[in-house]
Homo-oligomer: A and B are copies of this chain.
Amino acid sequence: MAQNSKRVDMDRVDGLILSELTANARVSQVDLSARIGLSSTAIARRQRALEEDGIIRGYQAVLDLGRFGLAVTVIVRITLESQSDDALKAFEAGVIDCPSVVRCFLMSGSDDYIVTVLARDIEDFEHIHRTELSRLPRVARIESSFALREVVSRAVPPVVFSASAAPKHKPPSPRRPTRR
C-alpha cells in the first residue's frame, strides 16, 4: 500500500520523543527521560525502535545560513522546452549539481519545475542565474521571484507529533517519581 513500509503506529510518548529530538538532536537519553517523564530505559528502547523503523532518518546540524551571507531566497520557476522523458532526466541531472539550489520540485500541471535558490544578494543571484541556471539543459523559460521574508520555516509539520494519540498499551497511571 504505502511506498516502502507500513504506516507508522505511535503513541503520545513517541510523539514527545520525536518532538524533543527535532528540537535538539544531541539530547541524551537521561535528559530525554527527564523531560518526558519516563525512565531512560524505556526512552532508549523507543528511540532505538524509531531509528530502526526508519521513522528517524538521521540527525543533522542546522546552520545559520545568514552567517555565510546567504540572505536572499529566490523562488525560480523553470519551464522546459520539451516534456520528453530524457529532457526531464537531463534537466534533473543538471539541477542536482547546481550548488546554489536547495530544493527542486517537479510540478504537475504545466511541465515545469519550482527551484529554490539561495544567494548572497541580488547580484550574486545574477551570477548564479548566468552560471548555473541558464546552463541547465532543455530550459525554455526561467522566471524568478525574490522572497522578502521567511514567515514559516519548519522541517517537520507539527501535525506529526500529535499523530495517532492512541496509547500503545496503557496509560501509565500511578507513576512513582524517580528517586535516587
Contacts and interface: CB of A to CB of B under 8 A. Distances in A.
Interface string A38-59: 0000000000000001111111
B113 A151 contact: yes
Contact of A60 (B25, B67, B102, B107): B25
Contacts of A149: 105-106
Contact of A25 (B59, B67, B96): B59
A77 B61 CA distance: 30
Interface of chain A, helix or strand or loop or mixed?
mixed
A67 B99 contact: no
Interface centre among A24, A148, A156 (most CB of B within 10 A): A156
Interface in A134-160: 145-160
A108 interface: yes
Interface residues of A, number: 69
A82 interface: no
A113 B153 CA distance: 13
Nearest to A115: B152
A130 interface: no
Nearest to A151: B104
Contacts of A54: 64, 67
12 contacts: A2-B66, A18-B61, A23-B58, A25-B58, A25-B59, A54-B64, A55-B64, A92-B151, A99-B158, A100-B157, A102-B157, A106-B148
